Amino acid sequence: MIGYFGTYVVDEAAMTIAQHLESSTFPGWVGYDRLGKIDLLTDDEAHLSGGLVHDPVNGDIYPRAHYKRVT
């Protein structure tokens, strides 16, 4: 599991999300800018996939995140 926070900009037309990570539990992502693909975007859900990350411990990974609105 990786935790991070920062700012982001969504481009609905291009189905992308640009994230600037202020800090992260993964040291290689502190201050990092990531561009991800939006695989699904509804009023209640977002499914995101990121580009390849080279992790020296776990090898190459493709990060994915699923967000769901809780009411």
Domain extents in the chain:
4-68
- Give the pLDDT of the chain (71 residues) as one tens digit per residue: 788 899 999 998 999 999 999 999 988 889 989 899 999 999 999 999 987 878 888 889 888 999 999 98
pLDDT of residue 17: 92
pLDDT of residue 56: 85
pTM for the whole structure: 0.70
Cα distances (angstroms) measured from residue 59 to each of 5, 9, 11, 27: 23, 28, 30, 15
Alpha-carbon span 38 to 11, nearest angstrom? 9
